[in-house]
Amino acid sequence: MLKRHARAACTALATAGLLLAATGGATASDAPRPAAASAAETLRTADAQPELLAAMRRDLGLTATQARTRLAHEAEAGATAARLRDRLGAAFAGAWLDGADAGTLTVATTRAADTAAIRAAGAEAKLVGRSLSDLDAAKSALDRAAGAETPVRYVDTRTNTLVIEETRPGAAARLLAATGTDSALVKVVRTAEAPRPLYDLRGGDAYYMNGSGRCSVGFPVTKGTTQGFATAGHCGRAGTTTSGFNQVAQGSFQASVFPGNDMAWVAANSSWTSTPYVKGSGGANVQVTGSVLQPVGSSVCRSGSTTGWHCGTVQQHNTSVTYPEGTISGVTRTTVCAEPGDSGGSYISGSQAQGVTSGGSGNCSSGGTTFFQPLNPILSAYGLTLKTTGSDPGPGPGPGDPEPGGTWKAGAVYATGATVTHGGATYRCLQGHQAQTGWEPPAVPALWQRL
């Protein structure tokens, strides 16, 4: 099956495109369009740098060739899963990757009639009893009532269950009773460690708050002509001043949310310039080319000022975590280790920015679980532009102004399901990302579906 999927990964976009385009009629925009790039080309997986490949070798046991293959499979599988999610609608029950090279994509559905289309797109089909939206709704009810004794809740798409981690026997049962949640939906996991924010600040470099506590830079950004970076909200509040890794005055927090989410951004003074890099192994620069969130099972690497550069895999998206300070929702659970001081630092998959370190449990000696706040909501909430090594979207049209030929706009952050027009046609976003020049909808079928 791995070989079949490896071949299918190269054709899945075209196959899925044919399946989905069958419902669309000809339009006046059927003029020649730009050549479409594959998902791997769009996400530039072939440009993965040696530092990232070396960390994947160390933490995932892969050779450089296997790591490159895995990154390409992850990109193609992410695009295929996004198309299938769009096609399946309410019946979609999740997608995930398996295999050392991420060569097997599985897509779950509650509708038996969908399995043929899933297999035709090159994925394994799994028929389950509960949709992802139903399980997410049940989790939301638990999130509103959860406390410190049930610190982590997430949907495990592989088992089609809602998982509750409890630190004391009976805590999950009490939460279920308080919310009226059906216990048949739930798997309870005992845990000895409760997550906590990783206090104690190019991505991954240290910064200091009010001259004392330390966190890590997430991703360098710009806002107009202002340079700065995204980081974790628990590291500081609006007005908190920062100094850089060299203890030179750096800037101040402009906005911060924690709990609820764990997001913030710092505006730097004129002595600092945003760069499109994350600090990799040995201090080498790892390039950032975009912000496409990768699917469950994908490899992901983290840079932080305490423990440096470590890799693992994505376990679940849209996880909720209750820290002593309160609950945060919408974070991603990973197998990457982290320690205090790594907070706010960068998570990157290939060259795609994923998010900033929030908290976790364990450490980088014995291993642990960590959570990151996805980056795209931070960019969207604060109107920031991720600094990338690709084409710079530049200032573009003014706020609210359409791009020539449609409403798609370079620099805008698009969530899955958003619709735009471009060149007279309408497109729906398949994978959330910040748009940039060269990623116009007709050219990147990994990110956009023409309607």
Render pLDDT for 343-370 as a digit per residue (tens, 0 to 9): 999 999 999 999 999 999 999 998 889 9
pLDDT for position 404: 59
| Residue 366 known to be catalytic | no
Question: Can you say whether the dihedral through the CA atoms of 308, 313, 314, 316 is positive or negative?
Answer: negative
Q: What is the DSSP letter of 260?
A: B
Question: How confident is the model over 251-291, as pLDDT tens digits?
Answer: 999 999 999 999 999 999 989 999 999 999 888 899 999 99
Residue with tokens 């050779």: 63
Is the separation of the CB atoms in 289 and 283 below 8 Å? Answer: no
Q: What is the dihedral of CA 31, 37, 43, 48, to 10 degrees?
A: -150
pLDDT for position 34: 60
Catalytic residue among 38, 73, 216, 234: 234
Is the separation of the CB atoms in 188 and 172 below 8 Å? Answer: yes
**Beta bridge pairs of residue 161:** 156
Type of residue numbered 301: C
Question: Can you say whether the dihedral through the CA atoms of 311, 316, 318, 319 is positive or negative?
Answer: negative
What distance lies between CA 312 and its chain's CA centroid?
Answer: 14
Answer whether the bond into residue 374 is a cis peptide, omega within 30°: no
**Mean pLDDT, range 372-395, rounded to an integer:** 85
Q: Looking at the predicted structure, is the pLDDT value of residue 300 above 60? A: yes
Q: What angle do CA 230, 235, 241 make, to 5 degrees?
A: 80
Grade residue 198 by pLDDT with cuts at 50, 70 and 90: low
Q: Looking at the predicted structure, is the pLDDT value of residue 181 above 50? A: yes
Phi, psi of 76 (to 5 degrees): -65, -40
Question: What is the share, in percent, of the chain residues with pLDDT greater than 90?
Answer: 80
Six-digit token pair at 65? 């060739």
**Mean pLDDT, range 318-325, rounded to an integer:** 95
pLDDT for position 210: 87
Question: How confident is the model over 397-428, as pLDDT tens digits?
Answer: 444 444 556 999 999 999 999 999 999 999 99
| Residue 262 known to be catalytic | yes
Type of residue numbered 366: S
Q: What is the dihedral of CA 88, 94, 294, 381, to 10 degrees?
A: 80
**Beta bridge pairs of residue 203:** 278
For the chain, give the mean pLDDT.
89
Catalytic residue among 216, 281, 343, 346: 343
Distances, alpha carbon 125 to alpha carbons 56, 176, 424, in Å: 28, 31, 35
Q: What is the DSSP letter of 294?
A: P
Question: How confident is the model over 155-175, as pLDDT tens digits?
Answer: 999 999 999 999 999 999 999
pLDDT for position 47: 92
pLDDT for position 284: 87
Catalytic residue among 86, 101, 200, 262: 262
| Residue 98 known to be catalytic | no
Is the separation of the CB atoms in 369 and 196 below 8 Å? Answer: no
Six-digit token pair at 206? 């240290």
pTM recorded for the entire structure: 0.83
Q: Looking at the predicted structure, is the pLDDT value of residue 142 above 80? A: yes
